[in-house]
Chains A and B, each alone.
Chain A
Amino acid sequence: MSPEWQAVWLTLKLAGITTLLLLIIGTPIAWWLARTQHWLRQPIAAIVALPLVLPPTVLGFYLLILMGPDGAIGQLTESLGLGLLPFTFEGLVVASVIYSLPFTVQPLQNAFLSLNENLLEAAATLRASAWDRFVSIAIPLARPGFLTAAVLSFAHTIGEFGVILMIGGSIPGETKVLSVAIFDHVEALEYTQAHWLSAGMLAFSFVVLVSLYTLNGRFQPGVVR
């Protein structure tokens, strides 16, 4: 595989795994944030939103320290026999999940907030347990939210750069994703290669956003067309 295609494949793999993990982790967080009155709701919401406002280098710096040999996560992974996470693909996955968390949680939270409480109550009177109501009513009605969350998380992971540079460096086949490859080409004054990759990213991002807006317009539940 050419180094360019290797970078593309690595980027897609990272974004795919990250999106899947984010949907699994983000759904319960979003459901809790949308429905709780607990005093911890605002602090947790703020923590989830932190990656939106922090410079990626700050996030990357702290993650590097935490996952390093003296950090809490580093000591945990070492004691589990997993080794250290910085400068590995797994390290990138962990960092990406944290970095893109708000892009999953916020659309899901909004989708859950706009659910009609009356429908969940009706389902309860029709013998559906809490889990059953979540699966049979909440998830299908929040489908546009899930679609938005998945697409935004995927696209945002593909576009990340600062965190990856801090945590992963530029190891071909392991951590050298597209954005890093472009940076390396520019550093080496290889503008032709940089152009190809950049134009590809631009086209991809545009297509993703257009499909998202089109699909979300079509999937409004209850709307007759």
Chain B
Amino acid sequence: MSHSERIQARFQCHFDKFGLDVDLNLPGSGITAIFGHSGCGKTTLLRCIAGLQTAKGHLSVLDELWQTASHSWPVHQRPLAYVFQETSLFPHLSVRKNLLYGYRRVPAEQRKITPEQVYDWLGLTPLLDRMPARLSGGERQRVAIGRALLTSPRLLLMDEPLSALDQQSKQDILPYLERLRDTLAIPVLYVSHSTAEVARLADHIVMMERGQVVAQGPLQETLARTDHPFRLEEDAGVILNGEIAEVDDRWTLCKVVFDGGELWLRHHDHLSSGMSVRVQVLARDVSISLHEHKDQSIQNLLPATVDHIAREVVPGISLVRLLAGGTPFLARLTSRSVHRLQLTLGGQVWMQIKSVALAD
């Protein structure tokens, strides 16, 4: 991919108790998750990219320069859209006027998305004549996403768009976001502190800590790393892409085949043979034995090679990376177990996977 198809951002800014210092080189397509704990600078980074926060730096998006050392485009001249964490609908305008606010300000020849398409995608038609105060939290965020899309942005920035919603509204909105990812060719920067959302939506990830980037890269590769200083702790795990090969109705299970093996997981009604799926395997659900033990309850047993051992990531705990075929897995073990099993790099072991979750 050439430079002109990527997003390159370099920013430095300093506040009283916090500084941001980042250098990013991101793909110009798909969803990039900007991930980190609260206060790590995720939102500040997004605001710098939008131009809402002034910072020294350089920003190029696809083939356009948005900020250089000497010039910075004002926010309203950047062809981006921003979905805020809290509701940002204009309370004095109807849903329809909110949706068309940005659309009307974009020159006609630059409009690529029509209002009808957006109403249809996001199921907004029944809401058009309501006032924002009469919408539920989930409906409001859907309108905010629709309003952003109607500017036909070249870059979509989303700042924890689901964090203010209850669990049910989140589950309702996620399919819409997936549809956006799969239908529109707009690159999305998606700020989140939820591993579940990242696992489900992202193609690429930037991990941040204390205003700095500690890791960035393709989602699966980056999540399987054990060497970066960022600790997901309980949430450490890998994502893998596979295809459903078989549905076992008797036991309500289905078999997912991936590059390097197969896994059984619980069958859900919307799944059928031949579907592509994303599954998440958490490091804490993976244990290791030196021999294949078939006389046990765990269904998913896979042969694997020890690829890397990160000892004492937290006191008493080690993280082991294993390769099954070409696919990396992580196992979170006590350091005593690693010592007792005498694990060595390149050693052949059996992974026992207690739980496999569907990420989408």
Chain A positions within 8 Å of B, measured between CB atoms, are: 118-119, 121-129, 132, 136-137, 140-141, 221-224
Question: Which of A118, A127, A221, A223 is in CB contact (< 8 Å) with B86?
Answer: A118
| Minimum C-beta distance from B98 to chain A (A) | 9
**B76 and A222 within 8 A (CB):** no
Is B90 interfacial (CB 8 A cutoff)? Answer: yes
| Minimum C-beta distance from B135 to chain A (A) | 11
Is B88 interfacial (CB 8 A cutoff)? Answer: yes
Which of B77-85, B169-177, B247-255, B297-305 is found at the contact surface with chain A?
A: B77-85
Is B237 interfacial (CB 8 A cutoff)? Answer: no
Closest to B132 in A: A222
| Minimum C-beta distance from B36 to chain A (A) | 22
The count of residues in chain B whose C-beta lies closer than 8 Å to any C-beta of chain A is: 27
**A127 and B92 within 8 A (CB):** no
Chain B positions within 8 Å of A, measured between CB atoms, are: 50, 52, 74-77, 80-82, 84, 86, 88, 90-92, 101-102, 105-106, 131-134, 147-148, 151, 157
If over half of B's interface residues share one DSSP class (helix, strand or loop), that class is named, otherwise mixed; here it is: mixed
**A124 and B76 within 8 A (CB):** yes
**B133 and A222 within 8 A (CB):** yes
List 19 additional contacts besides A118-B88, A125-B102, A126-B151; criterion CB under 8 Å.
A121-B82, A121-B88, A124-B52, A124-B74, A124-B76, A125-B80, A126-B81, A127-B102, A127-B105, A127-B106, A128-B105, A129-B74, A137-B90, A141-B90, A141-B91, A141-B92, A222-B133, A223-B133, A224-B133
Complex CA distance for A122 and B88, rounded to whole angstroms: 6
Closest to B86 in A: A118
Question: Which of A127, A140, A223, A224 is in CB contact (< 8 Å) with B76?
Answer: A127
**B84 and A224 within 8 A (CB):** no
Question: Which of A122, A128, A129 is in CB contact (< 8 Å) with B82?
Answer: A122
Complex CA distance for A141 and B132, rounded to whole angstroms: 14
| Minimum C-beta distance from A71 to chain B (A) | 44
Closest to B47 in A: A121
Given A125-B81, A132-B105; A119-B75 close (CB under 8 Å): no
> Which residue, of A118, A132, A222, A224, has the highest number of chain B Cβ atoms within 10 A?
A222
**B102 and A140 within 8 A (CB):** no
Q: Which residues of A are found within 8 Å of B131, using beta-carbon distances?
A: 222, 224
Closest to B79 in A: A127
